Structures are given as C-alpha cells and as structure tokens.
Amino acid sequence: MKKKLNNDFAPLAERLRPGTIEEFIGQNHIVSEGRIIHRSIKEGKIFSMILWGDPGTGKTTLARIIANSLDMDSYMLSAISAGVSDVRKIIEKGKENRIYGKDTLLFLDEIHRFNKAQQDAVLGAVENGDIILIGATTENPSFTVIAPLLSRTRVVKLKRHSESDLIKILNNAVANDEVLINKNIFIEEDVKEHIAAISGGDARRMLNILETAFSLAEGPAITVENVREAVKNSLLYYDRAGDRHYDTISAFIKSLRGSDPNAAVYYLAKMIIAGEVPEFIARRMVIFASEDIGNASPHALPIAVAALTAVKNIGMPESEIILSQCAVFLASSPKSNASYMAIKNAKARAERDNYEIPFHLRNAPTRLMKKMGYGKDYNYPHDFPGHFVKDSYLPEEISNLVFYDPSEEGSEKLLRDRLRKLWPEKYK
C-alpha cells in the first residue's frame, strides 16, 4: 500500500515515518509480537520509560506510535528548546486529565539535556501518576538521568539498525514514497548495500543520503557516485566519543586561542545544536582561561568558573547565552600561556632533579629541627620596605632558572614590569 503524502516538502524520513507498530521496521527485540513495546501497546498498559539508543534508531517514532495507538492526551517536547515552565504546563494538564480518568503522555526528547533541577520537576509528576513519561536519549541514562527518576522508569535499549533492516527501510521508501515513485527511481542492489553500509545503523541518516543522492541523479538510476556526493552534503551524527566531537571542540578551542570570537561562537553553536553536554563546554573554557589567557587577563578564570557554575544550575536552553558570553569574552581577551609553560617546565625539572630544599625555607615545628638549622636566617618579606627582600628561594643548583616568563600582553605586562624591578638578573 502506498504511503499517502501529507507534505511533499517534508524530508523523506518524515514522509515515511511509520504510524503503527506493524509498520515499524527493525528493533525486533522490543517491537515484535509478544515483546515489551508491542505487548504494552496491544494491552493498552503503557509505563514510564527511557528509550536509549543512537540517532536514527526509532526513539521518536516509537513514542509517536505509542501516543497514536492509545487513548491518551499526548505532548512532545525537546529538552533542547523546552524549559521547566513548559513541562509544568503539561503536568498541570495531566492533573486535570486524571480527574476525568484520562492518561497524559509526555515525550521528552533529549532528556539528558535537562539538568538535575529540571529532571526533578518531572520526577514528582511521574511518582504521582500525573503523567506517563517517555524520555529519549542518546546518552547512557545511568550517567545523565537522576537516580530517583531512573528508578521510576524502565530503560528500553534500542540497537543500531542492522544493514539488512536498513535495506528493508530503503526498499520501503522506494516502493511507497510517492515522490520517488513518480520519478521512477531505480537503485541497483550493490548501491543499496553501499548506502546501508555507510549509514552506521542510522535509518534517518540513510534516508537523508538517499534523498540527496536522488536529487543529484541525472536519470532515474542512483549511482555510487551520487551516493558519495550525497554523503559530502549530509550531516554526520555528532558522536561524543568520535571524531566529530573531538574535531569540533578542537576547532572551538583553537578559535578561542586565535582570538576569533566569530569562529568560536560558530563552533559553539554547532556543539549546542548537536547536543553536546553544556557542562563539558564550560569546563573546557575554564581550562582554557588559565592555560591560554592566564594573567594576561586575570578576570578570565573567575568568569569561566562563574559560567560553569551557572550552566550547572540553570540548564538549557538558557545556558547557551551564558556559554556564548563566556566564549566571546575569552576569544576577545589578551592571550598568554606563560602560567601553563611555567608549570610544565617546572614539572620537567622537578622530575629530573632531587635537590635539597634550602634550610632557611624549611619548617621548624620542633626544637630538634631548629637545632638542625631549619628555618634559620629566613627573612620575612613583610618586615622589609615594599614587602620584599632579596633572598634565594630555589635550590642553589638551579637558582638562576626562570620558569615563569610573563608576556607583554594585557595585565601580565604589569607583572613582568614588577618582576624586572625585583629580579633584574632574571627578567631583562
């Protein structure tokens, strides 16, 4: 039976989204007859659950099938754009529905994007039965969903689609999508296998590649070249354990270091859109503030720490404003890696040497230690003009070494000028 189009301009993946559990392809371990999702729908006994799986495995589709199959008041939110106020409105609606004996379903996509406080807001409603929650996440819920909420839901793991399932989905598209049918699209079996193989178990990505390849084809037949060109134009999943994760955060940090706020905020936006954990971005900026800015702009570190604290307490989507403010400040600040190089070089030297600490710098809490000369002849700087006295603090063997070499940038120039006056033999 051909699938009726609701919107010719909708993406292929949306046009082909199955409406019933019988139309769903793949995930047989949960949707085949007698399995947990199939049985719940057929018996009308749905429960709060967390759908955990990679992108394109069918989490959103299953939630919609459940919502459409049961007589429930259903709402769909994304944690990327929704806040606590949106959730509370649905909870209030759920309380009203309970009076009339009607269940309320809340599907919360990207539930891992909600922080603890935001997840707490959902917890009470799940406990009281005001809503049935279906959360979807690409992240391990053990680390991203609070324990009380996790204990009141059932985690349902979705697997990456096998290549055979992907080919079934592809064949279904060719046979039932009216746009493809009207163009008499034709795909050789080896091309189908190629598309399935490069899709990484992601059905949505596969259908996006198919649709792009179809638009590039000069005739009805889609070729491997069309597919390769389509892949270049297809967004890859931002895998937080894979290359795209590291490439994007690398570009972000290098743009900060290169004092380009425009590039920095662009890569920040890519990470936010892709679902990167905001605390991870904030932590990296805290490190950057010390490693690449340091004393050239001493305000950078407290600003970055404040951003991290705020992100932890506020959550998305509002935290993206905080991340942006911090990123553009760090990018626009004067740079110095002098503090980073100081500890790096000092560690290298300390690991190599084993020099004795000068006696006058040692602590002398006992009579025996004082008798041995610990602390003897130590000059207390605050007893001298300018709170400084020329003394030797490094071991004698390396007393001429310089580990901290401040730059001439920003506030660090003031530190260098002062050190030149105090230690002219070290700071020329």
Of the ranges 326-335, 368-377, 378-387, which one carries the lowest mean pLDDT score? 368-377
DSSP 324-393: HHHHHHHHHS----HHHHHHHHHHHHHHH--PPPPGGGS---SHHHHHTTTTTT---GGGSGGG------
What are the start-end ranges of the H helices in 184-223?
Answer: 189-197, 203-216
Joined tokens for residue 157: 């793991």
Res 9: pLDDT:
62
- First CA to last CA across the chain, in angstroms? 84
- Beta-carbon contacts of residue 57 (< 8 Å; ≥ 6 apart): 26, 27, 158, 159, 160, 161, 201, 202, 203
- The mean pLDDT value for 159-168 works out to 93
* Rg of the chain, C-alpha, whole Å: 30
Distance, in Å, from the CA atom of 212 to the CA atom of 404, rounded to the nearest integer, reads: 55
User: Greater confidence, 62 or 6?
Assistant: 62
- The mean pLDDT value for 122-147 works out to 91
**Per-residue pLDDT at 1 exceeds 80:** no
Condensed to tens digits (0 to 9), the pLDDT of residues 311-355 reads 988 888 888 999 999 999 999 999 999 999 999 888 888 888 878
Condensed to tens digits (0 to 9), the pLDDT of residues 401-419 reads 888 888 888 888 888 888 8
Residue 244's pLDDT band, with cuts at 50, 70 and 90, is low
What phi and psi, each to the nearest 5 degrees, are found at residue 134?
Answer: -120, 110
**Per-residue pLDDT at 226 exceeds 80:** yes
Instruction: Specify which residues 156 forms β-bridges with.
Output: 51
Q: Which amino acid, 154?
A: R
Res 2: pLDDT:
36
- The mean pLDDT value for 355-376 works out to 84
Q: 57 near 158, Cβ under 8 Å?
A: yes
Residue 236's pLDDT band, with cuts at 50, 70 and 90, is very low
Q: 206 near 174, Cβ under 8 Å?
A: no
Of the ranges 15-24, 83-92, 372-381, which one carries the lowest mean pLDDT score? 372-381
Res 5: pLDDT:
40
- Name the pTM for this structure: 0.56
How would you list the strands of the sheet with 72-78, edge to edge?
72-78, 103-109, 132-137, 49-52, 154-157
* CA count, 13 A, side-chain hemisphere, 124: 12
Condensed to tens digits (0 to 9), the pLDDT of residues 19-38 reads 999 999 999 999 999 899 99
**Per-residue pLDDT at 256 exceeds 60:** yes
Distance, in Å, from the CA atom of 35 to the CA atom of 24, rounded to the nearest integer, reads: 14
Distance, in Å, from the CA atom of 137 to the CA atom of 128, rounded to the nearest integer, reads: 23
Q: 193 near 167, Cβ under 8 Å?
A: yes
**Per-residue pLDDT at 241 exceeds 80:** no
Q: How many CB atoms lie within 10 A of CB 58?
A: 26
Residue 116's pLDDT band, with cuts at 50, 70 and 90, is confident
Distance, in Å, from the CA atom of 7 to the CA atom of 178, rounded to the nearest integer, reads: 11
Mean pLDDT for all residues in the chain: 87
Q: Which amino acid, 419?
A: L
Q: 294 near 339, Cβ under 8 Å?
A: yes
Residue 3's pLDDT band, with cuts at 50, 70 and 90, is very low
Distance, in Å, from the CA atom of 410 to the CA atom of 296, rounded to the nearest integer, reads: 5
Res 8: pLDDT:
54
Which of 349, 271, 280 lies closest to 308, judged by CA?
A: 280
Residue 253's pLDDT band, with cuts at 50, 70 and 90, is very high
Q: Which amino acid, 18?
A: P
**Per-residue pLDDT at 6 exceeds 60:** no
Q: Rounded to an integer, what is the distance from CA 26 to the centroid of its chain?
A: 27
Distance, in Å, from the CA atom of 23 to the CA atom of 338, rounded to the nearest integer, reads: 62
What phi and psi, each to the nearest 5 degrees, are found at residue 219?
Answer: -130, -165
Indicate the Cα dihedral angle 78, 81, 83, 87, nearest 10°.
Answer: -30
Condensed to tens digits (0 to 9), the pLDDT of residues 105-115 reads 999 999 988 88
* CA count, 13 A, side-chain hemisphere, 374: 11
Res 220: pLDDT:
82
- The mean pLDDT value for 166-178 works out to 92
Structural domains of the chain, with CATH:
27-157 (3.40.50.300), 163-232 (1.10.8.60), 243-332 (1.20.272.10), 357-422 (1.10.3710)
Condensed to tens digits (0 to 9), the pLDDT of residues 174-197 reads 998 888 888 788 899 999 999 998
Q: Rounded to an integer, what is the distance from CA 427 to the centroid of its chain?
A: 43
Of the ranges 72-76, 148-152, 156-160, 356-360, which one carries the lowest mean pLDDT score? 356-360
Res 245: pLDDT:
65
Element (H, E) at 282: helix 278-288
**Per-residue pLDDT at 286 exceeds 90:** yes
